[in-house]
């Protein structure tokens, strides 16, 4: 039995809008990463970018559980001695809310050239407006979690 391998010229890309308002950060990020990779499609091929475009709106209204709002720390290094910079979730969401969602989704993407190419299909906006109306994006419905 032969395996199906998607060809780059056969891939049909769609645009989806995800509303982050009231969504948990990790669940939103894993859903977005899955769409960006193309795992929701029947033609998914791990070594080819089969994913769709994702627009995330209302990034400033994303939720986190537990004490993460006060205690979660984002670290980056400038490259200079003593250049470790730290910022809490609370301060970062006030300053750059898009960066929180980008950081979470990037951690769920493959490392390397292919992962970087897939990540470029992500567009994040702090408020409810976005500038991709011409692409006619569809609203993404999150599956209800069974408890």
Q: State residue 55's pLDDT score.
A: 98
Rounded to an integer, the average pLDDT of 91-104 is: 97
Sequence-ordered list of residues with C-beta below 8 angstroms from that of 18, at least 6 positions apart, any chain: 28, 31, 32, 54, 55, 56, 57, 140
**What three-state secondary structure class fits 134?**
helix
Q: Write phi, then psi, for 73 (nearest 5 degrees).
A: -120, 130
pTM (global) more than 0.85? yes
User: Topology of domain 14-64+98-139, per CATH?
Assistant: Ribosomal Protein L13p; Chain: A; (3.90.1180)
Per-residue pLDDT tens over the stretch 44-94: 999 999 999 999 999 999 999 999 999 999 999 999 999 999 999 999 999
| DSSP class per residue in 77-104 | E-SSTT-EEEEEHHHHHHH-HHHHHHHH
């Amino acid at each position: 039995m032969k395996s199906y391998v998607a060809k780059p010229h056969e891939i049909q890309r769609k645009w989806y809008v995800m509303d982050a308002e009231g969504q948990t950060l990790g669940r939103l990020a894993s859903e977005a990463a899955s769409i960006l990779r193309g795992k929701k499609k029947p033609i998914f091929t791990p070594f080819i970018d089969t994913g769709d475009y994702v627009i995330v709106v209302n990034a400033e209204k994303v939720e986190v559980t537990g004490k993460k709002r006060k205690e979660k720390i984002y670290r980056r290094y400038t490259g200079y001695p003593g250049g470790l910079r730290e910022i809490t979730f609370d301060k970062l969401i006030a300053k750059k809310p898009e960066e929180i969602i980008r950081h979470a989704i990037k951690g769920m993407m493959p490392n390397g050239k292919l992962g970087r190419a897939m990540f470029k299909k992500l567009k994040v906006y702090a408020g409810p407006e976005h500038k991709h109306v011409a692409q006619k994006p569809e609203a993404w419905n999150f599956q209800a979690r069974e408890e």
